[in-house]
Chain A
Amino acid sequence: MAECGASGSGSSGDSLDKSITLPPDEIFRNLENAKRFAIDIGGSLTKLAYYSTVQHKVAKVRSFDHSDKDTEQDHEPPYEISVQEEVTARLHFVKFENTYIEACLDFIKDHLVNTETKVIQATGGGAYKFKDLIEEKLQLKVDKEDVMTCLIKGCNFVLKNIPQEAFVYQKGSNPEFRFQTHQPSVFPYLLVSVGSGVSIVKVETEDRFEWIGGSSIGGGTFWGLGALLTKTKSFDELLHLASRGQHANVDMLVQDIYGGAHQTLGLSGNLIASSFGKSATADTEFSKEDMAKSLLHMISNDIGQLACLYAKLHCLDRVYFGGFFIRGHPVTMRTITYSINFFSKGEVQALFLRHEGYLGAIGAFLKGAEQDNPNQYSWEENYAGSSGLMSSSPELCPTQRARSGTFDLLEMDRLERPLVNLPLLLDPSSYVPDTVDLTDDALARKYWLTCFEEALDGVVKRAVASQPGSVDAAERAEKFRQKYWDKLQTLRYQPFAYGTLTVRSLLDTREHCLNEFNFPDPYSKVKQKDNGVALKCFQRVIHSLDALGWEERQLALVKGLLAGNVFDWGAKAVSDVLESDPQFGFEEAKRKLQERPWLVDSYSNWLQRLKGPPHKCALIFADNSGVDVILGVFPFVRELLSRGTEVILACNSGPALNDVTYSESLIVAERIAAMDPVVRSALREERLLLTRTGSSSPCLDLSRLDKGLAVLVRERGADLVVIEGMGRAVHTNYHAALRCESLKLAVIKNSWLAERLGGRLFSVIFKYEVPAE
């Protein structure tokens, strides 16, 4: 294996001895458990895929044995936490230049412990060329897979599993990348693959697709003809030339034919009448740049025109472009987009894919893994292990060039359960979870990136403290810091790297990075303690609530929900107070709350509604552990139950900050049931149901929820959705439209956000919405 040496030293040749800029074990991770290899070898890039398992620590909570009732009160913590090893499935995809292929195969061979694997699925034009090398190095039989089938399988996979996969590219606008919302159905669509030639495929279902046309004028034409015209050898160089050229020096434009009259005739003078038309009529020398540009326009326009004609004929408006001609090159994305807009008069959108380069490898892998049926699972992009979309435009980001000699990674985690839409979404196809698009809003982006940078020290400290017995906790925490810091820096320059940048994606990325370094739940101890304290106060709170009159009680319940929500370790303003003043109590929190009228205040309507008939079933998304869920949410739940409303309480499947997890909620409910007959009977009679959201994020994406939750919602006929907390009700879902009544409540624990919304710190959002008839 090549040593990790100075980068760039091998930039000259096609030799296979280039040094690799990353330690190989950080590229080909988890090889020891790897199985099911697939490889896609293109003209210049190799994409390797494998399936592996990741063993990592998870914090498990377990109720103490309550058979001995007397000892219960003596236990300080309400439950015990144990750290266990858990094995999860992960897909690894690595993209590198063909020149590294031998070195990479050597590395894989040396680290491949698992000998079960006998074959490797191979696709791409180079699969044939490297067949012998692969078979010799890896001792695996090469099984060739059809290129287009792989491409389409891969495309279906990313469109289904990566919410922000497809984007439109708008040069010059801000942001240049506009990501499409996750569509409930990805079919039908048109896939235009621009490799050496062009293939146009209509995809109707997972397994049904049809090659409907193609063109021989593609990337190979650009490269081949470009090489002849400009004596430039590499594709990237050609693109670079093209980006600096003036095509009007070579092309015959309408204005060249019509003179100035095009204006009076209503013609656009800048349209190309004849590509390379001027090179036929003049004896002048043409610059390489101008010819490359003219060629780029000629080919892009032609592809765009054909794609539009096919889209129109087959009545398709979603057209995805892929292939090495596109490969994230802003220059070609721009010209293709222009062409599509021009020829379709805006009716067809040119869509590009973030993981376009991986489609073949993903598809080949899926072909080989059919018996494992990977398509029955939901998968999730792991932000910690994925490089994200890099701009390959030299002028867009000069630092990018240094990356060309390195490796691009994509990792996808298998989720235990499939994810689906919340059935109560008004319009799933237009639902956007996030409230603020940070790619769009430069000021907000700057603020939040800085905010996350500043909070990083605290997170590191918390992570170390959560594992007092671990010898390498400090070291791992430091690695986490470095990783997340790097991600934040990447996002400053490439906010589009993982799709639309949002507060949610920043939070999720942090969770992924923490998991990466085996800090599965840094807040487990904090949550344990908070839950213990809050449980002790539960009965007192219930008594005082029960003493109130009906109308007073309703307000107190809502205030309790809000006050509980102040207990949020995720908010820096609060964690500062909590760190310095552990006695910061529930009452104190209530005092901090803004007085009515709140910043957003539809409480009166809610109260009015409560005077009416009870809801059939309420779906509540809980937020934090401790005071929030125990003293805020449960009394509210209890009141709904007393009214005759069934309640589905949905908590996160996995840990995120101090958010209450599903397993914690089970214990908490059990403990409360022991104290409270209303909750006890409701649990027993299944009028109170606890379920998991399917998420491990402090935010909430209603289009990716656990299937079990969706089933419950349908079965019980939920007609009220309560979303609590800044992450779930403000950063996300603030504008979410539902088909039933909804309550979105939160305390704004961030002064910048409060200011943006026109309020102060600890301003209250109480948003009660009734769908229009």
Chain B
Amino acid sequence: MFFCSGWIAAEEATRAPALGAWLGRQRFLLRMGAGRLGAPMERHCGVAATSASSVREPTPGGPDGRRREPLRRRANSASASAVGASASAEGVRRDRPGSYSGATSASRQRVESLRKKRPLFPWFGLDIGGTLVKLVYFEPKDITAEEEEEEVESLKSIRKYLTSNVAYGSTGIRDVHLELKDLTLCGRKGNLHFIRFPTHDMPAFIQMGRDKNFSSLHTVFCATGGGAYKFEEDFLTIGDLQLCKLDELDCLIKGILYIDSVGFNGRSQCYYFENPADSEKCQKLPFDLRNPYPLLLVNIGSGVSILAVYSKDNYKRVTGTSLGGGTFFGLCCLLTGCTTFEEALEMASRGDSTKVDKLVRDIYGGDYERFGLPGWAVASSFGNMMSKEKREAVSKEDLARATLITITNNIGSIARMCALNEDVRSWVPQTSKEGSCQHLEFFANF
């Protein structure tokens, strides 16, 4: 079986790296001898959802074109456009899990000085992806009067600012529906908040950190994703903030495994689709992750990373593809003129991809029996667009839908092949030819 996570797969999952970043730092502290952190997190704070999916034969085509299924879409899916921080560039291979690099000695000193204490508030986890920045913020709810008194003004104002708003500036959004309430982390009770904003607003964010005098808080900014490297210098020179950089894949897995044990406010985070090809019978079911290894983790951010995970800290990046969420969104922008990911998804939910794609039946008049291909399978994505007349007859919604299906099918194909090649075979549920629509469901159900 494999997991899909990331900003296309299921929006909750996109928080995994950001959370993992924070958790990773905890582990680091643990290694440094912060004894009491060694205890298992009492009341788990769950975040990322992972979508376990049954797999299917990669037909040359994809979803059943006949049954165009209205995408079920939750109102709050507007927040979905967060990038799974992992840079999924092909060939990016991690040899060392989470590494501190760069200006670590200073932060190490600082960490040393914190040995006896739990880390100072505020607790942040930052995942700076190619498209989106995901920020996790832990809001302590068990602050004693004594603490309240000690709390410096800037810290207080940060807490107030973050928790009392749902939007920050023109692009920052707090995904209220994802908020994890009343959990215990490092012995503190509180809520976990999820905030996202586009990566291109990173300079404004850093500027804000400077304006609000973050550096005076002596907090360690745990960050992962490519942007942790890209913006490290800016954080230091403009914000006087040192980043604690953590490997994003490490963070991703840590985050996912962690939240799985936690659940989403009482519900399971990992789910799969039963009877995905049948719109009537198709249902989202929780997947039991108690004994998940080996598993394939498909992280869909701007691009896609595919990891084979053999145990908690034994994993490798198998491959990746550049056809990911960025491709879906990018192509939709070019093809439809849409400006937000939500808009692109919304259009896709209303379109008919069979007008855009060339199906097997368009070529063979029906099923291609020689190879057992059903007539409704997609033979050529965008294949109908070779014809001028058909180009003129499609709507923007159709194009968005076709883009979505093209990308998701492709990810499914590659993931399935990886599962076979990496011998996570036993975990691949019986493949079924028709099961092509669950990928769509990843999109559809957040």
Contacts and interface: CB of A to CB of B under 8 A. Distances in A.
Interface of A: 43, 125, 128, 146, 148-149, 195-199, 211, 213-221, 223-225, 227-229, 233, 250-254, 256-262, 264-265, 267-268, 271-281, 286, 291, 298, 301-302, 305-306, 309-310, 312-313, 342-343
Contacts of A313: 417, 420-421
Contact of B87 (A220, A257, A281): A257
A197 B89 contact: no
B60 interface: yes
Interface in B291-348: 301-303, 319, 321-327, 329-335, 341
Contacts of B58: 213-215
A224 B356 CA distance: 9
A301 B319 CA distance: 12
Given A259-B226, A280-B330, 9 more contacts: A146-B370, A213-B60, A216-B380, A216-B381, A224-B383, A265-B229, A274-B301, A280-B341, A302-B321
3 nearest A-B pairs in the assembled complex, by CB-CB distance: A224-B385, A259-B230, A274-B326
B91 A271 contact: yes
Nearest to A253: B89
Given A272-B90, A272-B322, A276-B327, A281 B131 contact: yes
Contact of B385 (A214, A228, A279): A228
29 contacts: A125-B363, A148-B371, A196-B380, A197-B379, A213-B413, A216-B383, A217-B323, A218-B381, A220-B358, A220-B381, A220-B386, A223-B383, A257-B87, A257-B130, A258-B87, A258-B230, A259-B230, A273-B130, A273-B303, A274-B88, A274-B301, A274-B322, A277-B130, A277-B302, A280-B326, A280-B332, A281-B199, A298-B322, A309-B417
Nearest to B382: A224
B384 interface: yes
Nearest to B338: A280
B59 A196 contact: no
A463 B406 CA distance: 62
A490 B376 CA distance: 47
> Interface size bucket, B side?
35 or more
A275 B322 contact: yes
A75 B421 CA distance: 77
Nearest to B87: A257
B378 A275 contact: no
A272 B87 CA distance: 10
A261 B229 contact: yes
Contacts of B388: 227, 233
A274 B325 contact: yes
A214 B409 CA distance: 11
Interface of B: 58-62, 87-92, 101, 129-131, 198-200, 225-227, 229-232, 301-303, 319, 321-327, 329-335, 341, 356-358, 363, 365, 370-373, 377-386, 388, 391, 399, 406, 409-410, 413-414, 417-418, 420-421
B229 A228 contact: no
Contacts of B62: 216
B55 to A, nearest CB: 13
A276 B326 contact: yes
A264 B325 CA distance: 27
Contacts of B101: 264
Contacts of B385: 223-225, 227-228
B87 A273 contact: yes
Contacts of B384: 224
Nearest to B356: A224
Given A223-B386, A306-B414, A259 B380 contact: no
A607 to B, nearest CB: 60
B89 A216 contact: no
A579 B125 CA distance: 92
B329 A267 contact: no
Given A216-B61, A276-B334, A196 B383 contact: yes
A148 B370 CA distance: 9
Contacts of B399: 228
A197 B129 contact: no
A286 to B, nearest CB: 7
A252 B88 CA distance: 11
B90 to A, nearest CB: 5
A214 B60 contact: yes
A306 B417 contact: yes
B230 A301 contact: no
Most chain A CB within 10 A, of B378, B409, B420, is at B378
Contacts of B365: 128
A218 B232 contact: no
Contacts of B61: 197, 216
A384 to B, nearest CB: 37
Given A228-B399, A305-B321, A257 B230 contact: yes
B332 to A, nearest CB: 8
B183 to A, nearest CB: 31
Contacts of A298: 322-323, 327
Most B C-beta atoms less than 10 A away, residue of A196, A214, A215, A305: A215
B391 A228 contact: yes
Contact of A197 (B199, B230, B324, B383): B383
Contact of A277 (B92, B327, B332, B373): B327
Of B101, B230, B322, B406, chain A has the most CB atoms within 10 Å of the CB of B322
B381 A277 contact: no
Contact of B334 (A128, A220, A261, A279): A279
Contacts of A273: 87-90, 130, 226, 302-303, 322, 326
Nearest to B320: A273
Contacts of B325: 274
A591 B53 CA distance: 85
A302 B324 CA distance: 12
Contacts of A306: 413-414, 417
Contacts of A305: 90, 319, 321, 414
B370 A149 contact: yes
B343 to A, nearest CB: 12
B206 to A, nearest CB: 13
Contacts of A227: 385-386, 388, 391
A197 B319 CA distance: 23
